[in-house]
Structure 1
Amino acid sequence: MIDNLGEATSCREVPAASIDKYQSKLPAALLGYWREDGWCSYADGLFWIVDPDAYKATLDMWLQGSGLAEIDNYHVIARDAFGSLYAWGERYQRKITVSSLAGGIVALKNQLQKPNPQPDRSLGIFLGATQRDSLDFDDNQGKPLFQRALAKLGPVAEDEMYAFEPALCIGGKADLEHMVKVKMVEHLMILDQLRH
């Protein structure tokens, strides 16, 4: 991951109680990252390793009616600057992605109920494959927005994301002119309501 995204740009120490809480729920390798580096941002805030508790209510809202909450108990382990949440299932150790700006959930449903025999390896593959390009969001012209949003709006804080006003799901335009910095949890809840 560091090869692709560089060193962490900001970190917060993880309390021992959080590590204990997720001991049998999340991959040991992730808890190792937490112990070593904490909850951090990478690539000027493009990608974040996060506190699952901060996103529990938001994730629950997005999963409502999807059938995924009946399959596993998911915890957000990472997020990006555009409000995508990357969640890990504690029972089967599989990853799902809530793509908030696109208004959907990405999951390999046929894999979700198969126990993952190598959760640490899968986590390593996910983090190792995390590239700047795959995390970026393209505008209407197919051009990546992150660097331009960073230059125009500054980096997102731990509780912020880049979004479009008006939102894409109600006819907004995916371009730099309509991009704003917003409080992440509140905006994700609004987007969830708009998509129903």
Structure 2
Amino acid sequence: MMSVELFRDFVPVAPVPEAVIDRYRPSVEPALVELWQAQGFGLAADGFLRVVNPDYYTSMIGEFLPRSDMIPVLATAMGDVVVSFDGKYRVLQFRYARATGGVGSSLDLIGLFAAQESWLNRFMDYAPYAEAAVTYGSLNTLEDFDYIYAYKLPLPAGGPEGVEYLTRSRIFEHIAFTTQLAGPIPFAS
């Protein structure tokens, strides 16, 4: 095991069941397994990033993932999901109805860079959350784990951007609503 703490400001929410670790160990990088074993599921980056249960997320939003072999491992407080796919981490930005080129293949680097607001802005469009956290409060407690700041009218459906158009919402309903309005996220591997 590595001795690196993957997320410096990690707030544990729940331990990862051994069955989840065993199921995904062959499909994910060792750093993710280490994170699950050492820190469990939880919050980082002032609640912006969430280490999530892939089984639970697949059961809740699996039908909205562009490919059935994507493994949800992180979520953001803006309703995006980071999936492990083909040895890399890709960001499914449901709020924009797009997939990004990715955030690399190393979770320990993601954990290291997650402390840098400039990296979060560049790769995960963090700025709206930072503004919402100042205006409405951070989503960084156990009670906030499934909650996000979502646009009242999703952006792909013509909704305006701006902190005044954000509302607290559960991530699963937001993804379902946005996908119904905007269609599936286009994805070319």
- Aligned equivalent of 1:9: 11
Match of 2:34 in 1: 32
AA partner of residue 79 (structure 2): G
Q: Which amino acid aligns with 2:111?
A: L
Distance of aligned partners of 1:187 and 1:32 in 2 relative to their CA distance in 1, 3 Å threshold: same
RMSD: 2.8
SS for the counterpart of 1:33 is helix
Structure showing greater Rg: 1
Equivalents in 2 of 1:143, 1:132: separation in Å?
7
Give 1:143 shift: 9.9
- Correspondence 1:21-170 to 2 at 5 A: 21-57=23-59, 58-63=61-66, 69=67, 73-89=69-85, 92-107=86-101, 122-130=106-114, 131-136=116-121, 144-156=127-139, 157-170=144-157
**Offset at residue 123 of structure 1 (A):** 2.9
Matched, 1:185 2:187: no
Percentage of identical aligned residues: 21
TM-fit CA distance, 1:185: 0.7
Pick from 181, 184, 189 the counterpart of residue 194 of structure 1. Answer: 181
Q: Displacement, 1:146?
A: 2.2
Q: Which protein has greater RCO, CA pairs closer than 8 Å, 6+ apart?
A: 2
Q: Which runs of 5+ in 1 are unaligned?
A: 64-68, 109-115
Q: TM-score, normalised by structure 2?
A: 0.78
AA aligned to 1:144 is: A
- Give the counterpart letter for 1:28 in structure 2: P
Matches of 2:107 and 2:45, distance apart in 1: 19
Cα deviation digits, residues 12-38 of structure 1 (max 9, x gap): 111111111112111121111111111
Distance 1:93 1:13 in 2: 24
**Cα pair distance change 1:183/1:154, threshold 3 Å:** same
Q: TM-score with structure 1 length normalisation?
A: 0.75
Do the aligned partners of residues 136 and 94 (structure 1) sit closer, same or farther apart at CA in structure 2, a change above 3 Å counting? closer
Shift of 1:59: 4.1
Aligned to 1:111: none
Task: Give, in whole Å, the separation in 1 of the partners of 2:107 and 2:10.
Answer: 18
Distance 2:109 2:94 in 1: 23
Q: Cα distance, 1:195 vs. partner? A: 0.9
Distance in 2 between the 1:134 and 1:51 partners? 24
Determine the C-alpha separation between the residues in 2 that align with 1:189 and 1:73. 19
Change beyond 3 A, Cα 1:175–1:12:
same
Tell me if the contact between 1:62 and 1:192 (Cα under 8 Å) persists in the aligned partners. Answer: no
Paired residue for 2:186? none
